[in-house]
Amino acid sequence: MSELLLINGPNLSRLGTRKPEIYGTDTLDDVQRRITEAAGQYDLQCVSYCSNAEGSLIDFIDQHREARGMIINPGALMMAGWSLRDALEDFSGICVEVHISNLWSREAFRHESVLSAVVDGVIAGMGTSGYMLALYGIVERLGLSVKEA
């Protein structure tokens, strides 16, 4: 079974309680459960990781270089995660950057991602549904279909 990485950066461990008016009420466990279940239908094993530390995220990516896909919500590292950018640039699988809120309807400092140029796609403003959209985008790019029971 091939790996699909589900990576979440700073402050996303508090999903569901942190600013629910912006980020919604789904928890990170809710997101992980949905992605794991849906990924399994395509014979992908979801490997989840969340950290507030950029170096830890990079170490995790390095340990899973053979993964076929990655969904990453880098949180605020999108604006200053230059080391994370280098790690994503070296990742050979399909990588989709996800943001729960619409970054362009928020403060100006959130309008540019240093990561977007090295990933395969960006989804923003769709709430936690963006993670599922990212999964389906990866599945399509990999040419996978639902496995038979």
In tens, the pLDDT along 90-103 reads 999 999 999 987 67
What is the domain partition of the chain in residue ranges?
A: 2-142
Residue type present at position 133: L
What are the catalytic residues? Answer: 23, 99
Mind listing the pLDDT tens digit for each residue in 123-133? 998 999 999 99
d(CA 127, CA 120): 19
For residue 134, the SS3 value is helix
Q: Which of 94, 85, 104, 75 is nearest to 4 (CA)?
A: 94
d(CA 19, CA 47): 26
CATH number of 2-142: 3.40.50.9100
Averaged pLDDT score across all residues of the chain: 90
